[in-house]
A and B are shown apart, each in its own frame.
Chain A
Amino acid sequence: MPKDDGIGASVKRREDTRFLTGNGKYTDDINLRGQTYVHFLRSDIAHGRIKGIDSSAAEAMDGVLKVFTAADFDSAGGIPCGWQVTDKHGQPMQEPKHPILAEGKVRHVGDPICAVVAETYAQARDAAEAIEVDIEELDPVVDMKAALADGAPLVHDDLTSNLCYDWGFVEENKDAVNAAFDSAAHVVSLELTNNRLVANPMEPRVAVGDYDPWGDNHTLYTTSQNPHVIRLLMGAFVLNIPEHKLRVVAPDVGGGFGSKIYHYAEEAFCTYAAKVLKRPVKWTSSRSEAFISDAHGRDHKTKIELALDADHNFTALRTETYANMGAYLSTFAPSIPTWLHGTLMAGNYKTPLIYVNVKAVFTNTVPVDAYRGAGRPEATFQLERLVDKAARELGVDPIELRRQNFIKPEEFPYQTPVAVVYDTGNYHATMDKMLELADYAGFEARRAESAKNGKLRGFGIAHYIEACGIAPSNLVGQLGARAGLYESASVRVNATGSISVYTGSHSHGQGHETTFAQVVADMIGVDANSIEIHHGDTSNTPMGMGTYGSRSLAVGGSAIVKATNKIIDKAKKIAAHLLEAAPEDIELKDGKFSVAGTDKSVDWSGVTLAAYVPHNYPLEELEPGLEETAFYDPSNFTYPSGAYGCEIELDPDTGKIDILRFIAADDFGNIVNPMIVEGQVHGGLAQGIGQALLENCVYDDQGQLLSGSYMDYTMPRADDMRGFTVDHSCVTPCTHNPLGVKGCGEAGAIGSPPAVVNAAIDALHRAGHTQITHIDMPLTPSRVWAAMQG
């Protein structure tokens, strides 16, 4: 049994008290003396040439301080991209400038043209309406394949085409893969779309820039998942502000799901304008603005093919994907369809030969970047849809086809043909667990019951693998990352024994303040309430790389473990002095140091007090104080996996799908807080089911966003979901981090979309609609009904 508040205990989230009572402190709650407000005048067309801007009337209006245009940023850099992908010919990707305000052209609906700063937000917005922008409309490119056609309009005039890169992975394997297809007994193929999504965190983005002219100090308060990364990118590449003169604070943040990883133009604007105006400048996004300025997710079009031998062993896999970059390269955009997607194409299977081709394309749409799962949902969706289709075409059980091709438990560590090495896993166990929890044996009886009511029941399966805990810095450096991906922690033990932990892992819904305290409490044996977790402020936390890719516990947590071990080592030396024993004889248990084999002991606070009041202390050997910092760089990704089962009922009259049961049997390695893990899986499932059935970001052929509000963009709601059955009892601990943890934040969003779609196809096939081999997400009633009409 875990201790009440140690590792393995379902401790209630301590941060929830302030969140649920409305007392969280978010960026929009920050109001500084003398604060001004900015409103961005954004393009309402997708593509156009700016011929002139007349802001004279606006500048004369009440309360207006200044109207900024691109000309005000001549000395600033563009918003940088954090990852450079090399194409299949060894050439770097095409990387256009991403200006803070539009330079010469607007490239998507929502592209900011001018920024009006005024005494009040209403004044800024009124003045923006008085600005006259003379724009020559240009033909937009919206469809990816059309964007690559000869003669297509160029999103960026200084690039040779709209192709960002054409990536082959592993390019050297291509001929062998093709040869395997030529000699295959069976080839199964599928073309599909991974629908574009809008992240829609509950809290829209906000930025407040502040400047102290006397100290030449800049402060940016922002809704970010990684304030240190913003400080690095904005300071070094955009505004030329050294780190010691730039503080970035991300206080309570109301969800991110990836969309708050990136450095956005509005952050740089507020920081810069605060210096120009010598007044704080605040921007609060409206929900409408979020739809056209937050980075979108997904948006892949893929053809995937699987070769099998006569015994149904997978022999080769090849894919061709078009990935939408939007109009500019967002911070991590190029890495998502490549290194976070191609490296996962082996899935859970022993496919010896794999070739992945990805063409990244610029279009006149909002930039696309990571969204919960980031590349891994796209990989899992196409693979698990295809395996299901293969089973159907070959007339075999989809569960058995998977089991036959699974990597077996004794085959780990397993080197895939797409670079990564899976350290552990037991896919047979998670599959068995899911089927048991789903009462799969009883499905046929339930289906018959549905049929009596005129409903079509189906059961869908998906088994996913993901790579979390990004990532070994030397590896990602070779792959084009322009940053390291370690994490840091400082543990400061105070004189009376209470502990302040400073982590680079930002928390915006993950519950770090609770789980990280559990880890430290467990290691030392003190009450978790004596531990406080600090994050989100570059002025008091060590360099951090932030929270995304389910990396917080695996990487950030490991850094905390490392720093805490240093604390324990030093504390044992102090205890040894106090107890007049050798340090190697000191044992720490339940917050008490004792000499092995004796009843001599000193408690935790006795040691910590001695560290700060060193009257009886080995000063000649040991510095006073008890504070340690550690950086942890992972040696591999972690590889959570799981089996997802989805049971649906489909109304043939309307095409509407109801999810009746959803079972997630995950292997997350060791678990620190089961309740938080369960909540993370629930959230991921809601977003994955949302993608499968509800959410769709749609542009028309003129680049106008048709789904630009909640009137048309279907956010999942509580009544769209029934209960979930979530299990994490199958555990193969990660072999290379100290906690044996893998990460759980994205799993639900990765595994669920193919399970849902497979269930729908299963229901339709069982009802005789065997002509339907695929329906693109979201499976809206209208789409399902149309497919049934043939």
Chain B
Amino acid sequence: MYNFDFVKPGSVADAVAVLADDDAQPLSGGQTLIPSMKARLNAPGTLVSLTGIPDLVGVCRESDTLVIGAATTHAQVARDAAGDFPGLAALAGQIGDPAVRNRGTIGGSLANNDPSACYPAAALGTGATIVTDRREIGADDYFQGMFATALEEGEIITSVRFPIPQASAYAKFVQPASRFALTAAFVARYASGVRVAITGASENGVFRWAEAEAALSSNFSADALASLGCSPHEMIADLHGTAAYRAHLVGVMTRRAVTAAG
């Protein structure tokens, strides 16, 4: 790790002001940024902590929407969302290990958009709204490929607004070493239809599985997916699984998520 300055502003406005400096980077739970700094792969001049801003922390229900502050830890989401949105709470409870869950935050995960992270599946699978210091971005526009998002330089996620589904579940098959998702599916059923988001599988990051959404919207059961296959085209291939294996798991995990959602 190289030397850096550290600031911990108390408001979003103050954080945005400090982040105007090109050499500054926001730090939320630090579960990705800190290891990359320790490996000297990342060297910000200033780290701007977002965890001292009270407005960014908390889980609260507003009618049919669950609003989660960007600096809310996975552990808090697992606990505080359990009543209103159990599918999301269960997803948060499966991220990493207790140490990770007590440091890592939802905003940090979505800003990083790791292709194997869990939260992108929930955000895209619910059509959530990503709220930043300057605008609101729909999930369908927000995720733009592996580690790529619609966020601009210095733009901070402040909260995420999840439309609460009638039923939902997350089915995750873990990469055995990292315990990130080797392939995982988030399925959410709304009155307007079903959304299915897949993480871990694609070279393009989290994606919606349109064929499964169509099939499930008319028949919300695992059987509706029986004849559906997902193409291995542009799927990730690595030590832990081939592209064909991941494509296969897309089907298996989606069926399991549907069954779990009931």
List B150-193 residues whose CB lies under 8 Å from chain A.
173, 176-178
Contact with A along B240-262 (1 / 0, CB 8 A): 11101100110010000000000
Q: Of the candidates B39, B177, B178, B242, which one forms a contact with A782 in the assembled complex, judged by CB atoms under 8 Å apart?
A: B242
Asked if A710 CB lies within 8 Å of chain B CBs, one says: yes
Give the interface residue-count category, chain A.
20 to 34
Residues of chain B within 8 A (CB-CB) of A786 are 242, 244-245
Q: Of the candidates A288, A656, A782, which one forms a contact with B240 in the assembled complex, judged by CB atoms under 8 Å apart?
A: A782
User: At the interface with chain B, which of A147-155, A212-220, A546-554, A711-719?
Assistant: A711-719
Distance of B228 from chain A, by nearest CB (Å): 15
Is A653 in contact with B252, judged by CB distance below 8 angstroms? Answer: yes
Task: Decide if the interface of chain B is mainly helix, strand, loop or mixed.
Answer: loop
CA distance A785 to B248 in the complex (A): 10
Is A780 in contact with B240, judged by CB distance below 8 angstroms? Answer: yes
Asked if B99 CB lies within 8 Å of chain A CBs, one says: no
Asked if B13 CB lies within 8 Å of chain A CBs, one says: no
Distance of B93 from chain A, by nearest CB (Å): 14
Is B245 in contact with A785, judged by CB distance below 8 angstroms? Answer: yes
Distance of A657 from chain B, by nearest CB (Å): 11
Q: Of the candidates B40, B239, B249, which one forms a contact with A712 in the assembled complex, judged by CB atoms under 8 Å apart?
A: B239
Residues of chain A within 8 A (CB-CB) of B241 are 780-782
Contact with A along B1-37 (1 / 0, CB 8 A): 0100000000000000000000000000000000000
CA distance A126 to B173 in the complex (A): 40
Contact with B along A690-725 (1 / 0, CB 8 A): 000010101000000011001111110000000000
Distance of B240 from chain A, by nearest CB (Å): 6
CA distance A653 to B183 in the complex (A): 13
Asked if A654 CB lies within 8 Å of chain B CBs, one says: yes
CA distance A696 to B245 in the complex (A): 19
Q: Of the candidates B2, B176, B248, B252, which one forms a contact with A714 in the assembled complex, judged by CB atoms under 8 Å apart?
A: B176
Is B178 in contact with A711, judged by CB distance below 8 angstroms? Answer: yes
Residue of A nearest to B2 (CB): A126
Is A694 in contact with B176, judged by CB distance below 8 angstroms? Answer: yes
Distance of A651 from chain B, by nearest CB (Å): 9
Is A288 in contact with B239, judged by CB distance below 8 angstroms? Answer: no
Distance of A419 from chain B, by nearest CB (Å): 39
Distance of A696 from chain B, by nearest CB (Å): 7
Give the interface residue-count category, chain B.
10 to 19
Is B252 in contact with A782, judged by CB distance below 8 angstroms? Answer: no
CA distance A126 to B252 in the complex (A): 48
Is A711 in contact with B177, judged by CB distance below 8 angstroms? Answer: yes
Residues of chain B within 8 A (CB-CB) of A782 are 240-242, 245
Contact with B along A770-790 (1 / 0, CB 8 A): 000000000011100110010
Residue of A nearest to B237 (CB): A782
Is B239 in contact with A698, judged by CB distance below 8 angstroms? Answer: yes
List A628-661 residues whose CB lies under 8 Å from chain B.
653-656
Residues of chain A within 8 A (CB-CB) of B240 are 712, 780, 782
Distance of A290 from chain B, by nearest CB (Å): 14
Residue of B nearest to A696 (CB): B239
CA distance A782 to B177 in the complex (A): 14
CA distance A706 to B39 in the complex (A): 16
Residues of chain B within 8 A (CB-CB) of A711 are 177-178
Known: A654-B252, A785-B248. A288 touches B39 (CB 8 A): yes
CA distance A715 to B245 in the complex (A): 22
Distance of B180 from chain A, by nearest CB (Å): 8
Is A713 in contact with B177, judged by CB distance below 8 angstroms? Answer: yes
Residue of A nearest to B245 (CB): A782
CA distance A565 to B39 in the complex (A): 55
CA distance A654 to B246 in the complex (A): 10
Distance of A121 from chain B, by nearest CB (Å): 11
Residues of chain B within 8 A (CB-CB) of A707 are 177, 239
Residue of B nearest to A785 (CB): B245
CA distance A653 to B226 in the complex (A): 13
Extra inter-chain contacts (9) besides given A654-B252, A714-B177, A781-B245, CB under 8 Å: A126-B2, A711-B177, A712-B239, A712-B240, A713-B177, A780-B176, A780-B241, A782-B241, A782-B242
- Interchain residue pairs with CB less than 8 A apart (28): A125-B40, A126-B2, A288-B39, A654-B249, A654-B252, A655-B245, A656-B173, A694-B176, A698-B239, A706-B239, A707-B177, A707-B239, A710-B177, A710-B178, A711-B178, A712-B178, A712-B239, A713-B177, A714-B176, A714-B177, A715-B177, A781-B173, A781-B176, A781-B241, A782-B240, A782-B245, A786-B245, A789-B244
**Top 4 closest A-B pairs, CB basis?**
A782-B241, A714-B177, A714-B176, A782-B245
